[in-house]
Each structure stands twice: as structure tokens, then as C-alpha cells.
Structure 1
Amino acid sequence: MELLYKVEDKPPVGTSILLAAQHLLAALGAIIAVPLVVGGVLGLSTEDMVVLVNAAMLVSGVVTIIQCRGVGPVGIKLPVVMGTSFTFVGVSIAIGFEHGVAGILGSALVASLVMIIGSFFMPTIRKLFPPIVTGTVVTLVGLSLIPVAVDWIAGGQVGSEGYASITNLLIGLSVLAIVIAFAQFGKGIFSASAVVMGMVIGFAACAALGLVDFAPVHQASWVALPTPLHFGLSFPISGIIGMSIAYLVTIIESTGDFFALSTVTKTKLTGKKLSRGILADGVGSALASVFSTTPFSSFSQNVGIVGITGVASRYVVTITGVMLILAGLFPVLGALIVIIPLPVLGGAGLLMFAMIITAGVNILSTTQHTKRNGLIIAISIGAGMAVTVRPELLTNLPEFLKVILASGITTGSLIALFLNLLLPGREKATEQ
């Protein structure tokens, strides 16, 4: 697909705001979901939950801007949306039960050094990612997200009220059809904004049918100032170790996102660029701890938006960062995004995530079709998807292995890396 706007292009301001909005729509629900889950399980007060959520939006915006524009050696200078990471949910809850939110944030702050220090080794690590490994990792990123989009279309988690109702399925599939129509047959701005157009039309239809709950908008406060160190910090050794493992997992996941992004934006991902991106992840997570929210990583779904729309401008996503900051300072704005029905998000999400799979397949198509490469792809994707669709497989493993292997992306990536090193006939990595 030809890019409508390349990484360094600056679309007109009005166009940029519209294009930035679709990144916001895709990301905001996931950004606030992590603090809501962690805070809800720990039984935090409404006031404390508000602090976690507002800080998540505010810091997401700041770190997104840093990734897109670059600040000194920090930031990959690609259209990356940053947000709170589900990788840290399990370990955060475990720490929180024993040491409170202060233990979560203090452990995350110290352990962020794993990612910060690790970023300086990314040029060396980059050499371990030839196209056969890169393509497998990128494909896994997309495949692992498909079940999420399917649940969104169905209206929630399996077993929830109304799951897979005809209404939900019709809404999700209608939004999917609208996005496809705009992306394929629209011209100019209509094609570039296919995702936001589909979601706006879907939201309007749901509102007209009385399927939108506006209560969160009425309940949201108008202004919320940041409250650094609201929960304080404590530094339990067990928490730091757990968080350190989670950060190692995040390095692998973010590396996969950056490879996918380099493919859809048609830019080379050098070891130096990869280092800048991972360093921004680490610095952003440290900043999140100081401002009282959970650690960060790059968002895969926004890679899919670039693939669908052909808009790779980092300046557009910089505006998304500004919007996230405003959502953090003015929670009522964020509430307007949060009330979008899940089937609407799912209709757009299914195509976004599938586009990441396409990017991975495109990379794999450049590799030699040998038995060796076929084994690497098959075993890695098979193992990664096994963990994704049946996480119960890990039930009886030691806790540290559960943390490492809980993500299908990480499981498949590690297997691809090891098989590529162990099997004879290894190809060298090339900067793409």
C-alpha cells in the first residue's frame, strides 16, 4: 500500500487533528483499562482510581510526544502511541495486595532501569532479528490481538451479559464494512480517516438506538490536576524482581511493535532507532511511577491504523499525544471516548489487527522458503497462539515463568530467536 503521508510529512492542521483523533479513539479505552483493573481488584477508593486514570492519560500523552518527536537520545521518531501495558497487570496486583499501590509504583520505578539499561544493548539485540524472526514476531503481534477484537465485537468477555448477541455482531460487522469501504473506495482524507469515520458513524447509530450509556460523561469531573507521588513509593525486593521480569517481556513486545511499525511506515529500523524507542519506554514508565500510574509500552493497535490508512506522519501522532494530555487534564473529554460501545471498537479493531498480520506476512515473504524457515515459523506461531488462546496451559508453572510466558508474543518470539540460533543455516539480520 502506498503511503498517503510519510513519516516526515506534515498534513494540514485540520486534517492532522482528524487523523490524530482516530489514534486517540483506538487507544484511550485500553490506556484507562489497566489502572481501572488494577485499582478495582485492589479495592481503591473512587478518588484514588481517578488519580490512576488521569495520570495514565496525561503521561501517555507526554511519552507519545517524546516517542514521535524525540528528546535528545530518547524517542524513536516514528508514529508511536504509548499507554499503560497489560503485561504489568498480574504482577501489579500481586505486589499491591502485599505492599499497596506505593509498592507497585516504587517497584516499577526501580525496575524501569532494566528497560533503560537494556536499551543501550538494542543495536546488538537487533542483530538477532533477521527477517525470519522479525516476520514471525510481527505476525504474532497481530494474531495475538485478534481474540481481543473478536471479544469487542461480541460485546465483552465470554460469559458476560449480551455476549455475541445479534445486535452486537451487527454493529461490529457494520463498522468493519464502513471502515473497509472508506479505506478502499474513499479518496484523500476520507480514505485516510477510514477508522475514525467508521467509529463515528457506528457511535452515532448506537446513540440513536439508545445503546450508549452517557452516565460516565455526566459523572466525570471537568478538570483534574496531576498529583505526583500521590500514593508514595516503597521498594519491596520481591516486587522489584517481579517488575524486572515484566520489563524484560515488554522489551520483546515493544521490539515487535517497532518492527511492525517500520514495515508499515516503510522506514529502516536501525539498532540505534530501536535503542531510542526502548529507552523512551523505560523513561516513560519511570515517569508514570512518579506521576502515580502503572508502567507503559507501545500500542500495537495504532500500528494497524497506519497500515489501513497509509498515514505514517509522526506529526499526526504527536497531536494524538496532545489530545491525551488534554484528556488527562479534562477527564470529561476522556469520558466521551470511553463510552464508545465495544462492538464499535471491535469492528475497527479487527481490521487494524489483521493489517499487522499482513505486515508480518510481507516480511516473511522476503525469506527463503526452506524447511528450516518453515519449522521456525510453524513452531513459533503455534506455541505463541497456544498460550494466547489457552493461557491455562501455564497454570502449574513457577510464577516467574508465568510472567514471562503469559504473552503469546513473548513466548513465540523467544522460540523464534532460539530456533534461529540453534538450527543450521542461519541468515544474518539486515536493517529494514
Structure 2
Amino acid sequence: MKSALDRLFPLPSSRVRQRPDEIVYNIEDRPPLPVVLGMGLQHALLALIFALYAVIAGQAIGLNASQTAAFVSATVLVMGLATLLQAIPSRFGAGMLLVTIPGAGRLPIYIAITLHYGVAATMGATLVSGVMAIAMARVMPRLRPFFPPEVIGVVLLMMGVSLVTGGVSRSVGFHEEAADFSLPAALAAGVTLACMVGVAVWGSAALRRLALVVGGLAGTLVTWLTGNLPAGHALDMTWVALPVLGLDLPTPEFHLVPIVVIALAQFITIMDQFGSTMTMDRMTDAHWRRADMPGVARAITGMGLSHLLFGLLGTLPGGSASANIGLAHASGIAARRVGVAAGLMLITAAFFPPLAGLLALTPAPVIGGILLYTAAYMITTGIDLITSRMMDARRSFTVGLAVVIGTAVMLVPQLGQQAPDWIQVIVQSGLTMGSLAAVALNATFRIGTRKTVVHALAPACEAQQAVEALEHDGKLWGVRRDTVLRAGHAIGEALEALRASGVRGPVQLTLSFDEFNLVGVLTYQGVALQIGATAAPDVSRLLDTEEETLDAAMRQLSAHLIGRLADQVQSGQKGGQAELRLSFTH
């Protein structure tokens, strides 16, 4: 009997992944130690670049230099612990290379809530959002029908689109107020992006591991040659300091408005975590077929636990970095042991504040080039997910309208400016609105969709009618095309087997789909056809057999094919009526 802990937080199950051609080291692989350390350092450095959001947050809420130093170091400490938690297979993490960074989307919300209600209220609301994420993780496997690939694809697509503004503005010198177009900045960003793409497309496996380093160094070199390297230090930090001691932390307070606002933002962070986990899962499995919902639940649990730490320390919360997923894709190294190394390096860096301060000086055009590379990858991954299933009018409008709503908020910012102040940070985000629209539209369009459809097959063309029924209902339900094709072959073979066994009357086909299984039931008048586990007949001996023996061998072959095509075959008898049930795992 399972314990309460096992029921609430189940242990990860063993899973065999088929390594894609572009992946050099997959999740459970053991790369050489130099590769683990080198890639771990690259992921840690990339994450530290985005610790700049913590610098911005600390300065915006009025912290002085020493307080900001402690604020940033505490943020980096939780980033390292959260990355380590996700990398180690357990009931509290995904067991994947998922690097945690402060959330850029949470930045304006964090600043607004802290300035209006104080750090204590922000801490309390963040703690509540962490508990909310852990609670939602428990029901995520049951929510799979509401988060099909096209919805997650829209989230990933909008994530990529949302990165374009920040990437382009940094790439051309528009990231600062009243800044004009900068040709040197555009040149540095273009070199950074070109080098990363070139290494990812044409580089050897060894060189792909250094894609970020090659692009970053090339872009920084161009910035230096054009005389645009940032001068000075972002913060006046001591060389060694304990990450938390410099924080003057109040007791968390719980106020309704901050909790509601941060809860709305947390839902989008959960969606972001969902998309990041699913992207890494799909990227590392050539035979990927569906979202690993238990794995997603563990990833969200780990994110919720990290948000409890962010809340206790009063720092800027975040989630898994899409830029680091882009680095894993560019390098072809997705081993979780790299995540362990990156997490340990981030924890170590938290004790050396100048490291974060130095990396915060990374030229903005270089960051812009990295963001554009990541945006391109996220957009194509989203499109790939959207088109992975058969599309009908409902799914087409779910995707199309969600993208329209998300991009409308980006292209016409006046739309969100009319909303109340407390919710503007939500309605002014194209990622937030597009993601919410996709979830809402998917749930709305599910209304009126029959889960079970009965088809009366005409004996003269029953196989063709069965295939057409599968195509029609498969589009309506969003079944993957490969599953529909497999079901069509199996049901066609089953119909032939029924006729060969002597069934002469009409056959009725009942199809049903629950997001997890596609089931086809053939009902007819006659004796139940027994199809068990059979071995394939020896074809080389069939030519020398008599006609009666040949017929038996062909029936054996038919039963063997049906058993191979369907994941489960059952037959039953009720009076004079029999049925053959074929189930196909989706």
C-alpha cells in the first residue's frame, strides 16, 4: 500500500528515451567530467547574466549598494538550489537540465507590489503562490485534456515572440530610454547570433558545446573593438559574503490584493514551467508522443518549493530559463548531470558577489543576440507542437485566436492601459494574455464535443468507412495522425478477420477518445473472435501447406498483426452479440 507521501509526491518512474540525432548526451547519459564541468559553467554563466533582473529589482525598491549585493546573492543562492532540485531525480524535481533564473515577467509585479504594500506583503504573497504551485502540481496529470499540445505550443510560441522585443531592443541600442539606433550594437548582436546559429548548424559536436561561449566572446570582441564595453562595476560588492546575512527581512504579511495579483502571475509561471519541461522532454526523445504529466508535476513541485525559498528571502522569484534550453539544444548536451554542476556553481557564486556584478556588465547587444537565438528556437518548437496533432476548426481557432489576442496586446499597448492599475501587469503581457486565451478557448471549444461516436458500417465498403470515421473523429478530438493511421490498419485487419471467421451481418464501429486512449469497438452478431498473443507464422513454409492449413496460417497472421498494431485487444460475448475492443495508447 502506498504511503501518504507516495500518493502526494510519487517517485519518478523509469523511462527509456530514444536519443535524437542532434543530441550528443541525453538526460541520463554520463558525459566526461570535463564536459560536465564546462557545460555546467556555461549554463551557470548564462543564468548569472539574467541575475541582472535581481539587480534591477533591488535598485527599484530602494535598496542601497550593500543591500542590493545581498539581495542579488540571495537570489543566486535560490537559483542554484532550484536548479539542483530540478536536476536530481526525485519526487520533488523533474530530473532534467532545467536552470532557474529570476522571471522577467515577474519583475514589474514584484516592484509594484513591494512599493505599494512593502516587502513583507510581497514575501507573504510569494509564499502563497509557492503553495499554490505545489497544490496545482498534484492535479496536473488530470488536467492533460485542458493542456493539449496545441495549447502548450501557443504558450511556447508566445514565449518566443515575447523575447523578440527584449532581444531586438538590446541588439540595436533601444534598451535604454531615449536611445537611438546603434550600428555597433546591431553589429555585435548580429555577430553573436550568427556565431551561435553557425555553430549549431555546421559545428562539430565538440564545438556545439561551446556555442554560447563562441557567440558571447565574438559579440563581446566586436563591442570592445567599437569602444562600447560598459565601464565600472554594477555594484560595490565585497569579495566574499554569506548570501543571506545582509538582508533585513521582516515577518511575511498576507494581504488579499498582493496575493490575488501574484497568484495570477503564478499561473503564467506554471504554464511557463509546463512549456519548458515539455520542450526539454520533447527535445530529448526522438519517439516523443505525449506530455509526461507526472514529470511536469514534479517540475512544478520543484518550482513551488523554490518559490517558498524566494518568498522566505524576499527575493525576485522566477522559473526555468528558456535561454538555457536553447543552449542545451545548441550544444546537443542535455544531461541532467550538467544541471547538477550548474546548480552547485550557482550556489558557490552566491558566496562571491563580484561574480554576479561582473556578469551583469555583459554587453546588452550580446544578451540581445542570445535572446533572439532562443526566441527563434522557442517559436519553431511551438509551431512543431501545434502541428503535431490533426487540426479541425475548433483547434485552428484555438490557436489562431490565442495568437491574435497575445500579439494584439503587444502591437496595441493601449489595450491594456485602460485596465485597473492592479491588473495592468497581467493584461499588458502578450505572453500572459495569449496563454490564458489558449487555455480558455480550448476549454470552451471542448463543450459540445462528443466523446463517443457510433458508426454503422456498410458491408460493401466497411473498411473505407472505418478509415473515414477515424479521420473525421480524429480531427475533432485532436488525435495524433500516427495513432489514427495505426488504428485504421488494425480495425481494417480486424474487419477482414471477422469476415474470414464467418460473420455476415452488419458491423457497428464505436469510437471514443479520452486524451489518453483511442478506443474502437466492433459490435456484430456472431461468436466472439478470440485474438490472443500469437507468434507470426513461418511464411517460408506456407507455400508447401494445404489450403486449409494456409487459411489457418493467414488467420494467425491477421491476429498477429492486430495484436501488434493495437496496444490492447479484448473480445466479449453477450447473448448473440459479440464485440471486439481495440485500444490505442495516445
Provide the TM-score with structure 1 as the length reference. Answer: 0.91
Aligned to 1:122: 140
Q: Deviations over 1:203-257 (max 9, x none)?
A: 2343354432352179432112022663222314132333222222321222222
Structure 1 residues 422 and 105: alpha-carbon distance in aligned structure 2, compared to 1, 3 A threshold: closer
Q: Report 1:26-425 matches (<5 A).
A: 26-33=46-53, 35-70=54-89, 72-157=90-175, 159-161=177-179, 163-216=180-233, 219-227=236-244, 230-237=248-255, 238-266=257-285, 269-399=291-421, 401-423=423-445, 424=449, 425=476
Larger fraction in strand: 2
* Amino acid in the other structure paired with 1:250: T
Offset of residue 79 of structure 1: 1.1
SS of the equivalent of 1:293 reads coil
- The more displaced of 92-101 and 398-407 is 398-407
1:19 lines up with 2:39 in the alignment: yes
* Amino acid in the other structure paired with 2:132: V
- Tell me, in whole angstroms, the C-alpha distance in 1 between the residues paired with 2:338 and 2:85: 13
- The more displaced of 363-372 and 276-285 is 363-372
Structure 1 residues 345 and 11: alpha-carbon distance in aligned structure 2, compared to 1, 3 A threshold: same
Paired residues of 1:5 and 1:311 also in contact (CA < 8 A)? yes
Offset of residue 384 of structure 1: 1.3
* Amino acid in the other structure paired with 2:385: I
Structure 2 residues without counterparts, runs of 5 or longer? 1-20, 450-475, 479-513, 517-584
Q: Deviations over 1:150-205 (max 9, x none)?
A: 122123426443x4311111111111111122222221210222122111232234
* Amino acid in the other structure paired with 1:91: I
Paired residues of 2:79 and 2:346 also in contact (CA < 8 A)? yes
Paired residues of 1:286 and 1:295 also in contact (CA < 8 A)? no
* Amino acid in the other structure paired with 1:231: L
Paired residues of 2:234 and 2:358 also in contact (CA < 8 A)? yes
Provide the TM-score with structure 2 as the length reference. Answer: 0.68
Structure 1 residues 310 and 388: alpha-carbon distance in aligned structure 2, compared to 1, 3 A threshold: farther
Offset of residue 32 of structure 1: 3.1
Structure with the bigger RCO (C-alpha within 8 Å, sep 6+) is: 1
Structure 1 residues 9 and 177: alpha-carbon distance in aligned structure 2, compared to 1, 3 A threshold: same
Paired residues of 1:55 and 1:292 also in contact (CA < 8 A)? no
- Tell me, in whole angstroms, the C-alpha distance in 2 between the residues paired with 1:404 and 1:118: 20
Offset of residue 114 of structure 1: 1.3
- Tell me, in whole angstroms, the C-alpha distance in 2 between the residues paired with 1:203 and 1:418: 44
* Amino acid in the other structure paired with 1:318: V
State which structure, 1 or 2, has the greater radius of gyration over its C-alpha atoms. Answer: 2
Paired residues of 1:303 and 1:356 also in contact (CA < 8 A)? no
- Tell me, in whole angstroms, the C-alpha distance in 2 between the residues paired with 1:156 and 1:122: 40
Paired residues of 1:308 and 1:355 also in contact (CA < 8 A)? no
* Amino acid in the other structure paired with 2:41: A
- Tell me, in whole angstroms, the C-alpha distance in 2 between the residues paired with 1:156 and 1:26: 22
Aligned to 2:571: none
Paired residues of 2:123 and 2:313 also in contact (CA < 8 A)? no
SS of the equivalent of 1:86 reads coil
* Percent identity between the two aligned chains: 28
Paired residues of 2:144 and 2:293 also in contact (CA < 8 A)? yes
- Tell me, in whole angstroms, the C-alpha distance in 2 between the residues paired with 1:76 and 1:38: 28
RMSD of aligned alpha carbons: 2.4
* Amino acid in the other structure paired with 2:55: L
Aligned length: 429
- Tell me, in whole angstroms, the C-alpha distance in 2 between the residues paired with 1:118 and 1:218: 38
Paired residues of 1:250 and 1:297 also in contact (CA < 8 A)? yes
Q: Deviations over 1:351-402 (max 9, x none)?
A: 1221111111222232224333322221111111222344432112235543
Structure 1 residues 332 and 400: alpha-carbon distance in aligned structure 2, compared to 1, 3 A threshold: closer
* Amino acid in the other structure paired with 2:303: D
SS of the equivalent of 1:297 reads strand
Paired residues of 1:132 and 1:373 also in contact (CA < 8 A)? yes
SS of the equivalent of 1:215 reads coil
Paired residues of 2:69 and 2:235 also in contact (CA < 8 A)? no
Structure 1 residues 339 and 275: alpha-carbon distance in aligned structure 2, compared to 1, 3 A threshold: same
Structure 1 residues without counterparts, runs of 5 or longer? none
1:2 lines up with 2:19 in the alignment: no
Structure 1 residues 309 and 375: alpha-carbon distance in aligned structure 2, compared to 1, 3 A threshold: same
Structure 1 residues 429 and 170: alpha-carbon distance in aligned structure 2, compared to 1, 3 A threshold: farther
* Amino acid in the other structure paired with 1:38: A
- Tell me, in whole angstroms, the C-alpha distance in 1 between the residues paired with 2:405 and 2:99: 28
Structure 1 residues 289 and 26: alpha-carbon distance in aligned structure 2, compared to 1, 3 A threshold: same
* Amino acid in the other structure paired with 2:82: V
Offset of residue 101 of structure 1: 2.0
Offset of residue 90 of structure 1: 3.0
* Amino acid in the other structure paired with 1:302: N
